Amino acid sequence: MGKTLYEKIWQDHEIESIDSERSQIFIDLHLIHEVTSPQAFAMLKESNLPVAFPSLTKATVDHIVPTDDISRPFEDSMAEEMIQNLKKNTKDYGIDFHEMGSGNQGIVHVIGPELGLTRPGSIIVCGDSHTSTHGAFGAIAFGIGTTQVRDVLASQSLITKKLKVKKIELNGKASFGVTAKDIILYVIQQLGVQGGNGLAYEYCGSYIESCSMEERMTICNMSIEGGARCGYINPDQKTFDYLRNRIPDITSNDFKKFEKKWSNYRSDPDAEYQDKYKIDVSTIEPMATWGTNPAQSVSINNTITFSDANEKRDSFSDSLEYMKLKEGGSIKGLKIDKAFIGSCTNGRLSDFLSVLPIIKNRKIPSHVKALAVPGSEKVDEEAKKLGIDKVFIESGFEWRKPGCSMCLAMNPDKLNGSEVCVSSSNRNFKGRQGSSTGRTILMSPLGVAASAINGMVSDPREFL
Amino acid sequence: MSKGDVMNSKKIEHLDGKIFHVSGSDIDTDIIIPARFLKCVTFENLGDYVFNDVRYSSDGEEIKHPFNDKNKENNILLVDSNFGCGSSREHAPRAIKYSGVNFIIGISFAEIFYSNSISIGVPCVTVSEPDHFKIKSTLEKVKDLELVVDVRNQKLNFGGFSIGFEIPLGIKKSLLDGTYDPLEKLLGNSEKILSVSKSLGQHS
């Protein structure tokens, strides 16, 4: 019987089977940042433990960094303390720290692939649930808590449950103006926020094969919003081509050996899956969330209706009330206060390039505050070489410095009161963007750009 | 690989106390502990901020919420389905733990929350929807409902009822023998870790 990529990687990495569900597994790459690492290092110190494999942990700072004034010390004394804590810990334990000004700093799930760290056939963990992003390269990648960060630092391993795999087959061509973000929002809407609980999602099909690596990252990034701790795509020539120039000091012969090894991890045609879901993506339209979880979304031109497939009436009503919307109403046309293009979901170069046709020679209205936040110093540098930042600035966006920014309110980029923000990020939970009455509407970068130009939630196809 | 000074955790075989209910499905980690409270280098004080933004208005006024009504004796929390969805932040179960809760019963839990909570010694167990309804409705009738948890036999005893809960066998064993914090186990396998690392072409 054939095996899935997940089973093959698990097999190679298993150190010991603990019980019928869980094993101790080796971790190839451990990414850390300033929010979930301090207490883990403190636990290590308390127990008098060294870091077992310092070269396999890589650090950066992303959640708490300001995106405008990054002079030190940061105005936020807690943020300053956290970055200093990370700097000290990485120095004490001999861990590489990609800090601001190094040319490599950025959102942890943006820099991993850029630096050639994210590779097929590996197990990658980080104290952040969007670690699933790295699954785009054919890796088992998932988020962990601080105690597990400690486990990985101390032993380069952890004990975790082996997941079953659900095949998400996406075929056909995305329609005009429809992006990978719209497609994954649609899938989550269909399967629900709990749909992936206990499962890894394997995304495949002709649509997935046609996706660029950055589109694949957007899709895998959102797996956790559908309840799947881990989501992946089988590696192929696109994966190898992306990595070819990003792995330092490797000969072309050695790279060929890697390609062969990586190809062997692909799921076998006769692999068995716990469950399957298959759709043709061509009927999917630009999406927008209307509610307070990522599954509460709707096609831009449809009205908000209740379906009991994945939701109870009272939580539907509760979310509508919070968002100040009505059942049967539209999300399109809702006036916005802020717009955000960035995050580990959609903060890569292709995301910024994609909106140029919408914003070029157009200006956002004065009542909208719009932020364009590159996902990393590399993205920022590339964008500036191409002059993209200037197009954003001319249309009224603020071009910021790399970081998590408005995704989650741990830095100064926040909402006030019940402001409405269209966002290319991944979560629209109540209070997510920093105000306990703030309202987040998740869209693709195209949707955010179109909405920013119109000053209200809009269909991006209007401008394309 | 060093074993350092790793201590075993306390065994969890029985638990008793008073139960309280926070209702709502899909309660996410941003509700449990808003992100601004994650700006810290220790876990101290997290207990003060649990469910902060649904317990206090933006003017600082108290809103009616089970975490505001509860007293020190309410240490067993009843939740609904998909509790703890969202982030992998361990700050969420820690905030609940430091507010005085040491056991959580629900219809279902988000996976990362579930494993984080158990590793810090706050077991999460699941019950069927009918049984959940039984606990919930008994709690509505009996203020300060007392509940006794029998981990070994997987029973919840309250108000004359005894209902069973689900827990994977391996996790149950780890509660009973105090190994739910896996660090000692992990470090004990140092030779196997090295051997797997070599087979994968990784070096220390």
- 3-state secondary structure string, chain A? CECCHHHHHHHHHEEEECCCCEEEEECCEEEECCCCCHHHHHHHHHCCCCCCCHHHEEEECCCCCCCCCCCCCCCCHHHHHHHHHHHHHHHHHCCEEECCCCCCCECHHHHHHHCCCCCCCCEEEECCHHHHHHHHHCCEEEECCHHHHHHHHHHCEEEEECCEEEEEEEECCCCCCCCHHHHHHHHHHHHCCCCCCCEEEEEECHHHHHCCHHHHHHHHHHHHHHCCCEEEECCCHHHHHHHHCCCCCCCHHHHHHHHHHHHCCCCCCCECCCEEEEEEHHHCCCEEECCCCCCCEEECCCECCCCCCCCCHHHHHHHHHHHCCCCCCECCCCECCEEEECHHHHCCHHHHHHCHHHHCCCCCCCCCEEEECCCEHHHHHHHHHCCHHHHHHHCCEEECCCCCHHHCCCCCCCCCCCCEEEECCCCCCCCCCCCCCCEEEECCHHHHHHHHHHCECCCHHHHC
pTM score: 0.97
* pLDDT (0 to 100) of residue B171: 96
Residue B90 neighbours by CB under 8 Å, 6+ apart: A36, A127, A145, A146, A147, B116, B120
Residue in chain B closest to A38 (alpha carbons) equals B41
Predicted complex: ipTM over 0.90: yes
Helices A146-155 and A38-46 meet at what angle, rounded to 10? Answer: 50
* pLDDT (0 to 100) of residue A220: 98
> Is A227 in Cβ contact with B85 (below 8 Å)?
yes
Closest by Cα among B108, B29, B33, B86 to A294: B86
Closest by Cα among B118, B108, B119 to B166: B108
Written as tens digits, the pLDDT of chain B (204 aa) is 887 877 778 999 999 999 999 999 999 999 999 998 999 999 989 999 999 999 999 889 999 999 999 988 999 999 999 999 999 999 999 999 999 999 999 999 999 999 999 999 999 999 999 999 999 999 999 978 999 999 999 999 998 999 999 999 999 999 999 999 999 999 999 999 999 999 999 876
For β-strands A164-171 and A199-204, DSSP reports them as parallel
CA angle A202, A207, A212 (to 5 degrees): 90
Of B7, B82, B190, the CB nearest to A193: B82
Tell me which residue has tokens 């600035």. A393
Of B42, B43, B202, the CB nearest to A56: B202
Which among B7, B41, B173 is the top mutation candidate for probing chain A, defined by the most A β-carbons within 10 Å of its own β-carbon? Answer: B41
Neighbours of A223 (CB within 10 A): 31
What is the C-alpha separation between B44 and A311, in angstroms, rounded? 36
Of B116, B192, B203, the CB nearest to A147: B116
Question: Cβ(A250)–Cβ(A403) under 8 Å?
Answer: no
Which among B3, B8, B26, B172 is the top mutation candidate for probing chain A, defined by the most A β-carbons within 10 Å of its own β-carbon? Answer: B26
CA A309 to centroid of chain Cα atoms: 26
- B18-30: string of b/e by CB count within 10 Å (b at 16+)? bbbbbebbbbbbb
Of B41, B57, B93, the CB nearest to A85: B41
> Is A143 in Cβ contact with B119 (below 8 Å)?
no
Question: Cβ(A413)–Cβ(A406) under 8 Å?
Answer: yes
Contacts of A312 in chain B (CB under 8 A): 25
> Is A48 in Cβ contact with B2 (below 8 Å)?
yes
Helix (H, G, I), strand (E, B) or coil at B8: coil
For B149, phi then psi, to 5°, come to -105, 125
Contacts of B111 in chain A (CB under 8 A): 161, 197-198, 227, 229
Residue A2 neighbours by CB under 8 Å, 6+ apart: A267, A268, A269, A270, A271, A272
Question: Cβ(B132)–Cβ(B107) under 8 Å?
Answer: yes
> Is A431 in Cβ contact with B31 (below 8 Å)?
yes
Nearest-CA distance A171 → chain B (Å): 28
Which among B1, B5, B111, B203 is the top mutation candidate for probing chain A, defined by the most A β-carbons within 10 Å of its own β-carbon? Answer: B111
> Is A312 in Cβ contact with B193 (below 8 Å)?
no
Nearest-CA distance B130 → chain A (Å): 16
Give how far Cα A141 sits from Cα of A37, A135, A299, A300, B19, Å: 18, 5, 30, 32, 37
Give how far Cα B124 sits from Cα of A198, A241, B137, Å: 15, 44, 20
> Is A128 in Cβ contact with B30 (below 8 Å)?
no
* pLDDT (0 to 100) of residue B204: 61
Nearest-CA distance A96 → chain B (Å): 14
Neighbours of A206 (CB within 10 A): 13
Contacts of A42 in chain B (CB under 8 A): 41-42
Residue in chain A closest to B41 (alpha carbons) equals A38
Interface A-B, measured as beta-carbon pairs within 8 A, has a size of 212
Written as tens digits, the pLDDT of chain A (464 aa) is 999 999 999 999 999 999 999 999 999 999 999 999 999 999 999 999 999 999 999 999 999 999 999 999 999 999 999 999 999 999 999 999 999 999 999 999 999 999 999 999 999 999 999 999 999 999 999 999 999 999 999 999 999 999 999 999 999 999 999 999 999 999 999 999 999 999 999 999 999 999 999 999 999 999 999 999 999 999 999 999 999 989 987 888 999 999 999 999 999 999 999 999 999 999 999 999 999 999 999 999 999 999 988 899 999 999 999 999 999 999 999 999 999 999 999 999 999 999 999 999 999 999 999 999 999 999 999 999 999 999 999 999 999 999 999 999 899 999 999 999 999 999 999 999 999 999 999 999 999 999 999 999 999 999 99
